[in-house]
């Protein structure tokens, strides 16, 4: 009987609400996203790379477009040793999320969480992650994000509990053909 009571009390403890500390570290999205302002091209500044990004060596972009059915078209592109690769997918807004939570698919029927967890008031940069902190992207409207804006994005990621030592910084070619991301030491 004592073992049964112990088992029940242990099992019940797993069903209790999270502590205040755990609640504070939950990933939280921005309250509202204007999707029309969010559409367009974004340059990846840094990321926790996805499996399919393993061959990317630079010039990574994401382009979002509004589709006729109301969903969002997604086109990711990056440079590899052999040229460029692209992945096209679709995203749908999670209801009652203020447009800050999307479900994205590149391989239907599998969807991934795409949460906008930081966003500049002028939509110059965005911070995108997922609830289990496996993925993170710092995006910018330009290939190089000014240092002050980068620090704001990094601070927001740290507030959300992301381990920034996992960030891989993205190189971009500038218009004159030289590499755009300079010495990465200032980024850490």
Q: Class of the 27-171 domain?
A: mainly beta
Whole-number pLDDT of residue 24: 52
Question: For the chain, what is the radius of gyration of the CA atoms?
Answer: 19
Say how many C-beta atoms besides its own lie within 10 A of residue 153's C-beta: 25
Whole-number pLDDT of residue 6: 30
Whole-number pLDDT of residue 108: 81
Cβ partners under 8 Å of residue 28, min gap 6: 117, 160
What is the pTM (predicted TM-score) of this model?
Answer: 0.80
From first to last of its 188 residues, the chain has per-residue pLDDT tens of 433 333 233 233 323 333 334 445 789 999 999 999 999 999 999 999 777 778 899 999 999 999 999 899 999 999 999 999 999 999 999 999 999 999 999 988 899 999 999 999 999 999 999 999 999 999 999 999 999 999 999 999 999 999 999 999 999 986 444 334 433 333 33
Token readout for 31 is 């309250």
Give the H or E element holding residue 168. Answer: strand 168-169
What are the residue ranges spanned by the domains of the chain? 27-171
Cβ partners under 8 Å of residue 126, min gap 6: 38, 42, 116, 118, 119, 120, 137, 138, 139
Whole-number pLDDT of residue 36: 96
């Amino acid at each position: 009987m004592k073992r049964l009571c112990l088992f029940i009390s242990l099992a019940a403890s797993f069903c209790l609400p999270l502590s205040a500390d755990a609640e504070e570290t939950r990933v939280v999205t921005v309250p509202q996203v204007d999707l029309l302002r969010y559409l367009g091209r974004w340059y990846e500044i840094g990321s926790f790379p996805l499996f399919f990004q393993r061959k990317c060596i630079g010039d990574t972009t994401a382009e979002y477009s509004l589709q006729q059915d109301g969903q969002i078209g997604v086109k990711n592109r990056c440079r590899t040793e052999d040229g460029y690769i692209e992945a096209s997918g679709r995203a749908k807004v999670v209801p009652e999320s203020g447009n800050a939570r999307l479900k994205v698919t590149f391989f239907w029927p599998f969807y991934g969480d795409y949460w906008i967890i930081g966003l500049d008031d002028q939509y110059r940069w965005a911070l995108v992650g997922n609830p289990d902190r496996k993925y993170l992207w710092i995006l910018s409207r330009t290939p190089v994000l000014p240092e002050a804006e980068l620090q704001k994005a990094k601070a927001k990621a740290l507030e959300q509990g992301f381990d920034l030592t996992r960030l891989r910084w993205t190189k971009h070619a500038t218009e004159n053909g030289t590499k755009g991301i300079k010495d990465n030491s200032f980024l850490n």
